[in-house]
Amino acid sequence: MANYILAFHGGTIPENPDDKAMIKEKWGVWMGQVGEAMTNQGAPLGMSSTVSSSGISDDGGANPISGFMVVETDSKESAIGIAKTCPHLEFGGSIEVAEMMKM
């Protein structure tokens, strides 16, 4: 088994309270389905800064991260399978999946 980070990019949060409640419910159902594979439920993130040798960009870069979660599965394909069912994809977001390597 290995840990995989699911890095959420983009997505939208609606203004309407009913739509916000619907999204929250979808996330709750999905997280319940992920179950024990979720080792760190992560969190939504604020605007990031990108640090490079040429300076600091406070706009988050080309595709800023908007949240994360860590899952433990037996393969990257399994982690991708979890990501493919995430409601984040329904709201214009994308999910980057990467194995957390042991050092």
Phi-psi region of 63 (alpha: psi -120 to 50; beta: other; left: phi over 0): beta
- Entry pTM: 0.88
pLDDT digits over 49-96, tens only?
A: 888 898 888 877 778 899 999 999 999 999 999 999 999 999 889 999
- Specify the pLDDT at position 79: 98
Does pLDDT of 41 surpass 80?
yes
Better-predicted residue by pLDDT, 39 or 56: 39
Q: For residue 63, what pLDDT is reported?
A: 83
pLDDT at position 62 = 78
Domains parsed from the chain with CATH numbers = 2-42+65-99 (3.30.70.1060)
Phi-psi region of 60 (alpha: psi -120 to 50; beta: other; left: phi over 0): left
Higher per-residue confidence, 51 vs 3: 3
